[in-house]
Amino acid sequence: MTERIVSSRSRGFLFLDSHPAGCTRLVQDMWQAVPDPARQGRPDADEAPVALVIGSSAGYGLAATIAGLARAGIRGAGVSFEKAPGRRTGTAGWYRTAATAELAAKHGRDFVFLNGDAFSDTLKDQVADLLDERFGGKLDYLVYSVAAPRRTDPDTGVTFASVLKPIGEAYRTKTLVFDGEGAPEVTTVETGPAEGDDIEQTVAVMGGTDWARWIDHLAGRDLLAQGFATVALSYIGSPLTASIYRQGTIGAAKAHLEQTARDLNDRLVKEVDGRALTSVNGAAVTQSSTAIPGIALYVALLRGVLGDAMVPPIAQLTQLWDQLTGTAPLDVDDEDRIRLDTWELTPAVQEAVAERWKTATTENIPALAALDWFAVQVQQLYGFAVPGIDYAAPVETDVPWPQRTT
Ligand SMILES: NC(=O)c1ccc[n+]([C@@H]2O[C@H](COP(=O)([O-])OP(=O)(O)OC[C@H]3O[C@@H](n4cnc5c(N)ncnc54)[C@H](O)[C@@H]3O)[C@@H](O)[C@H]2O)c1
């Protein structure tokens, strides 16, 4: 056991350590934010829907896991790729997973967390065995929420790397940075266009290939229940970020993901009377999103415009579960995508953000953007800046990965 004081040293938006107590508190707060189960009376443990969440330790996947457990009463498994505590602390997702497991157990939900590479067949086999042995051999839901920089194709051993680049021309954007003292600065950054096989590489990592491989794998083991539904998370975003996002290399990957949904859907309808969909979610501060040029400025301005009307991931994912489980009607656009991003993309909101974006400078940014909120959000990704946590006190960092209890 190693109690230590964990300090918040960072390089830009990346922190070297994570705070276990802060991560735990944030997970508890997310659970609290979910309304009680829609159905009265708890389903018998054996009748609870069986769900698999890929990417369960952070961002939208964490919200999918917590909302699924707290609202839809799911049991099943979550998969993520996190680092154990060692010389440094564990990753924030490690501690969030431990905290989620504790809450799941407290509420009587049988939920197992696996740590490993979701892109590998080894992990797919482990999950398939688990579903078979522990969860009655039938999966009702699969939520796919992976954001990763690399993927190794199990068939060929080739590793692909995703890049965030515009397609065609270089992209010059305003961007928000914080100097050594934490003072905000609005500068410009230029990103050169995709070259060589950048687009194919990004599609190979962030497109739908691995999602389809999961479905193939589980269908091949006859693990999909009648009426099985699967959802992968997607993003469209603002015209202000379109050159780097929706029209860029990552946008090509999202288009591939959405096409994969249509292909999978055709197949699942026939095979198990099932469905495959994408869910388009709104902008949120996550480790993945803060890596995208210009997104920090965009999100801080969006918050400046919307304030508390900005819909957090946990509220969006509660809506998603309600639609999946039939508590609310399934609401898809004409491309068969669930849209949980409408609060972000209404013309009035986008016009207001665009207006602020145009005039933003280092001098006026404090008046235009929610800078304090943004700074807190970034720190909270690592468990810092959480109200009620004593950061001067030593804390146990050697937290074990949740054990499977039988
Ligand atoms: N953040 C946003 O603004 C936003 C908005 C709309 C949609 N989305 C979508 O949501 C999805 C998740 O993004 P996020 O921002 O929540 O990301 P995130 O970085 O917060 O979380 C990524 C998750 O993927 C897991 N992961 C990464 N590599 C893995 C691997 N090889 N094996 C197993 N797990 C792995 C991580 O452990 C983590 O749980 C993406 O599809 C993204 O496009 C994000």
- Which pLDDT value is given to residue 1? 67
Confidence band, pLDDT 50/70/90 cuts, at residue 92? very high
Measure the CA–CA gap between 140 and 53, rounded to whole angstroms. Answer: 11
Q: Which atom of ligand 1 is nearest to the CA of 91?
A: 37
1-10, 245-254, 258-267, 296-305: least confidently modelled range: 1-10
Domain 3-149+197-290+310-342+383-396 has CATH 3.40.50.300: no
Distance (Å, whole) CA 8 – CA 116: 26
Check if the beta carbon of residue 397 is closer than 8 Å to that of residue 6.
Answer: yes
Q: What is the pLDDT of residue 404?
A: 78
Q: Catalytic pick from 141, 144, 171, 245? A: 245
Residue of 15, 53, 56, 81 to test ligand 1 pocket, by largest number of atoms within 8 Å of CB: 81
Helix locations, 107-208, DSSP H: 121-134, 198-206
The domains of the chain are located at 3-149+197-290+310-342+383-396
Residues across the chain? 406
> What is the pTM for the complete model shown?
0.97
The yes-or-no answer on residue 245 being catalytic is yes
Non-local CB neighbours of 372 within 8 Å, separated by 6+ positions:
none
C-alpha 241 chain-centroid distance: 19
The response to whether residue 288 sits with its C-beta less than 6 Å from ligand 1 reads yes
Question: What one-character DSSP code corresponds to residue 346?
Answer: -
Instruction: Identify which of 191, 73, 205, 74 has the alpha carbon closest to the alpha carbon of residue 146.
Output: 205
Which one, of 336, 124, 335, 338, lies nearest residue 210 by Cα?
124
Q: How far is CA 308 from CA 58, 95, 376, 398, in A?
A: 21, 27, 15, 36
Tokens of 148: 């990763």
Q: 393 pLDDT band (50/70/90 cuts)?
A: very high
**What ipTM score was computed for the predicted complex, to two decimals?**
0.99
Taking residues 319-326, report their average pLDDT. Answer: 98
